[in-house]
Every structure is written in structure tokens, then in C-alpha cells.
């Protein structure tokens, strides 16, 4: 499986305690929806991945779409087109796990056959090489830092931070929050926040949504597996089986 990643990182400067924000496409099985994930690392916390995974409602290889990451000292928001799909709000309990050091932007294509598509079930078919990606309308807003200066002084980016935090895309309005909720209900199929196997204690940045929690197992995956439509079909089938069983029981009672 070929993985395409759009990410911010400082791993070239902070090799053992790097920060990273990811939007990663996890490959595609013909006839199935494309899948992608978002992830957050802070201070080298790669053993505490904060993955969320989603199905896409379009084919990203056919047309351009906008993928955005807002990163401020207060929060992180991931966007697909104009829709916010995930927000991480900083709190004191996160400590160094919240990305806080200057990062650069990367776009990469690499072989993730060992884990990405269905847990590594489908490998890269190099008969389709070379693998390419195309970008346009790249926009970077933020505070530029000299790469040699690992840690900017406290006031170097204060004006830029204030400006970023005042932008429309930095504020999730009630309307856009409703859009985010609809996206997550329809397309999210895994969230680490509900993965009690990996995290018996819910990570401190997780804002647990009771409706989301009901839809996921303790492993963070959708109940019954697959899409929400598949869930609905399986639930209807289960109700029919229960109804038939009840009908048979009634008939036996009458006899």
C-alpha cells in the first residue's frame, strides 16, 4: 500500500522529541471508499498515537480538494474542504504531548504495506509505479522561524498568533460544529479516544461524545465493523431475526 502524507514535523531538528501533525491517505481497495487518518504527536510521543480514521465521500485521485491544518497555542483543527473534521483543544494535562515547537511542512509518498491498508493485508503493487501526487494553491500562514533558532522567544510570534486566532477558520461556529458532527457520524470509523484497549484511561485531550461512544467498541472501532450504512443494515437484520424468533415462540406457546 502506498501512503500519501501531508504533514507538519520538526523531526529533522528534534530527532528524539519531535512534534508532528498528519493527514494521511491509507490507500484504496478498488470499489471501496478511500480511507485517511489524522494524527497528533507531541514531544516525541510516537508511542501514544492519537489517530482518527475516516472514509472519504469522494475519490481524491480524480479531483482537487482542500486539506488544511490549523495549529495554534490553543487548539488544532483539521479541515477537508471547508468542513472541520477534528479539533484538539490544548489543556494542562497534555503537558508536552501538545505540539509546541516550530515545524516545517512536508508532503511524502512511502510504502506503508506493513500496516496501512486493512492492517497490512494489501501490499503495494509496484506494477503501477511511479506513484505521484500533484498540488496547487498552497497557502502557508504563520510565524516564520530561522531553522537554526530552535526555540523562538516568547514575543516573536505573539502578533501572528493573535492574527491567526482571529481568522474565520480558527473559530468553529455552531453551524460548522454541526457540519463536523455530521461528518464524524457519517465517515469516522476509528477514534483512539474510545480505544480502551490501547488507553484504559481516556487521554486528557479527548472530549468524549456520548453519541460517538455508543457507536464504538472498546477498541475504538465502529460496532459491527464497516460503514454506518452497513451498521444500519446489520441492525435491521438483527431486529428481523429477533422478530422471527419471537413469532416462532408465540406459535409454540399457542400449540
Contacts of 36 (CB under 8 A, 6+ apart): 23, 24, 25, 26, 53, 54, 56, 60
d(CA 40, CA 7): 10
Question: Which is the catalytic residue, given 15, 24, 52, 205?
Answer: 24
Active site residue 24: yes
Chain centroid to Cα 74, Å, comes to 18
Angle at 64 between CA 67 and CA 221, to 5 degrees: 50
Which residue is associated with the grid cell 487518518?
37
d(CA 218, CA 200): 9
Active site residue 82: no
> Quick check: 101 and 19 in contact, CB under 8 A?
yes
Question: Which is the catalytic residue, given 15, 20, 127, 212?
Answer: 20
Active site residues: 20, 24
Amino acid at each position: 500500500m502506498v501512503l500519501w502524507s501531508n504533514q507538519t514535523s520538526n523531526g529533522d531538528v528534534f530527532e528524539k522529541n519531535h512534534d508532528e501533525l498528519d493527514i494521511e491517505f491509507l490507500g484504496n481497495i478498488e470499489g471501496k471508499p478511500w480511507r485517511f487518518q489524522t494524527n497528533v504527536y507531541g514531544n516525541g510521543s510516537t508511542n501514544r498515537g492519537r489517530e482518527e480514521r475516516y472514509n472519504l465521500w469522494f475519490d481524491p485521485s480524480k479531483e482537487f480538494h482542500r486539506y488544511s491544518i490549523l495549529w495554534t497555542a490553543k487548539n488544532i483543527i483539521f479541515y477537508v474542504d471547508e468542513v472541520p473534521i477534528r479539533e484538539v483543544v490544548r489543556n494542562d494535562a497534555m503537558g508536552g504531548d501538545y505540539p509546541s515547537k516550530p515545524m516545517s511542512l512536508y508532503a511524502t509518498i512511502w510504502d506503508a504495506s506493513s500496516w496501512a491498508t486493512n492492517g497490512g493485508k494489501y501490499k503495494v503493487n509496484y506494477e503501477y509505479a511511479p506513484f505521484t501526487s500533484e498540488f496547487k494553491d498552497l497557502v502557508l500562514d504563520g510565524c516564520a522561524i530561522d531553522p537554526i533558532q530552535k526555540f523562538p522567544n516568547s514575543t516573536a510570534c505573539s502578533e501572528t498568533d493573535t492574527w491567526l486566532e482571529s481568522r474565520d477558520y480558527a473559530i468553529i461556529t455552531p453551524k460548522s460544529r454541526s457540519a463536523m458532527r455530521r461528518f464524524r457520524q457519517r465517515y469516522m470509523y476509528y477514534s483512539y479516544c474510545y480505544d480502551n484497549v490501547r488507553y484504559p484511561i481516556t487521554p486528557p485531550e479527548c472530549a468524549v461524545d456520548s453519541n460517538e461512544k455508543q457507536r464504538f467498541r472498546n477498541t475504538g472501532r465502529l460496532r459491527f465493523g464497516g460503514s454506518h450504512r452497513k451498521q444500519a443494515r446489520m441492525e435491521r437484520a438483527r431486529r428481523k431475526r429477533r422478530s422471527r424468533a419471537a413469532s416462532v415462540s408465540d406459535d409454540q406457546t399457542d400449540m
